[in-house]
Amino acid sequence: MLVKISVADLKDSLNKILSVVDKKNTRLILNFIQIQAVENKIEMTATDLEVSAKITTTCLVEKPGTFCVNAKNIFDIVKELPDKELTIELTEGSNSLKLSCDNINFTLLIYTSEEFPHLQFSTNGNEFVLNSNKILEIINKTSHAISNDETRLFLNGIYLQEVDGKLRSVATDGYRLALVETELDNKAIEALINGIIIPKKGVLELKKIAETYPEQKIGISVDESFIYLNANNTYLLAIRLIAKEYLKYQAVIPKKSSFYADVEKNAIMNAVKRIKIMANERSNGVKLILNENEMVVAANHPSLGEAQEKIQINYSGKNFEIGFNAKFLIEALSIFADEEVRMEFNNELSPVAIKSAKNHNYLCIVMPLKL
């Protein structure tokens, strides 16, 4: 095999798939990536058997070939090379790969591709298209609510479901919930009617493919075990779905509210950031005290002191107090643009819904905290 490729192109491609490799995997071949050179392109594939990625990069292929090489090792080398042309050479029958760039030479031990898993990156039917910016919006507005509790595996991802011709995306950890509805160009998507759960690692790779191709359409297909993504036939992903039934999240969303407060997002978020400095480290709790057209954000630390800040709001409900985990409240508010948000209440023990005053395609639910 003999290939000539730009160092910058190779480094960029390796950087995309390196995060797929599980460095703690006891199966040695899964620490390697498969590289195949054919028809003036090089294909690099990585997998941990849960998430798989394939990147295709154009280059000059003088002699085709296939091999497996340690992913971290080749990336560490390439990222230190000057931005020039790199020659990759593998003599037939040899297990030594030669890398030459300018006056720099490396020889790496490689494996044959026989042990590397056979991977699938597409399925027949059930394909739809989603703009990469919509994918990013879904992830940015829901991923903060993904649970890290490994005993509740079904909450360790984003749930996607087709509802009334829209793609509904939900994430919750039991303390907060984020929901986004996305308009689709396609008609009903049969594969998503019963819903699928994309695991957290898959979500991170999904975000990477969307960021690589801004404002472009990403092909998506689903089967019983995997979701497949295709960006211009040059960046492919296969993500194993969480094979569990998702939480009945609809029960968490209040069907009606007794009263509401309209408040500038930045005003309340910045106040919570400041006041939480005096919150108890164990609860991270802040208190919202609602009076007519006024909200007081307060915290009391048993050994440091207390703090409070008043905010002008549009509110005419009853006077009452409600506590929140400051971190959860800040993360919920941060997904909204610099705009007015509506906080809908029932009582100090019921979940609070936070919605945009302008965009009605997403909402956050935050459970109150007893202080």
Helix (H) or strand (E) holding 45: strand 41-47
Residue 322: predicted pLDDT:
96
* pLDDT over 70 (residue 188): no
What residues contact 112, with CB distance under 8 A and at least 6 apart? 67, 68
| Averaged pLDDT for residues 264-274 | 97
Among left, alpha and beta (phi > 0; psi -120 to 50; other), residue 42 is beta
Q: Give the C-alpha separation, 35 to 32, whole Å.
A: 10
Per the DSSP assignment, residues forming a β-bridge with 32 are: 70
What is the per-residue pLDDT across 308-361, written as a single tens digit (0 to 9) for each? 999 999 999 899 999 999 999 999 999 998 889 999 999 999 999 999 988 889
Q: Is residue 93 over pLDDT 90?
A: no
Q: Distance between CA atoms of 35 and 50, rounded to whole angstroms? A: 19
Residue-range domains of the chain with CATH: 2-115 (3.10.150.10), 128-250 (3.10.150.10), 254-366 (3.10.150.10)
pLDDT of residue 164: 85
DSSP 151: T
How large a percentage of the chain has pLDDT more than 70?
98
Which token pair is 313? 């709001």
Confidence band for 144, pLDDT divided at 50, 70 and 90 = very high
What is the chain's mean pLDDT, rounded? 93
Convert the pLDDT of each residue in 10-20 to its tens digit. 999 999 999 99
Answer yes or no: is pLDDT of 143 > 90: yes
Q: What is the reported pTM?
A: 0.92
CA distance 208 to 237: 10
pLDDT tens digits, residue range 210-243? 999 999 999 999 988 999 999 999 999 999 999 8
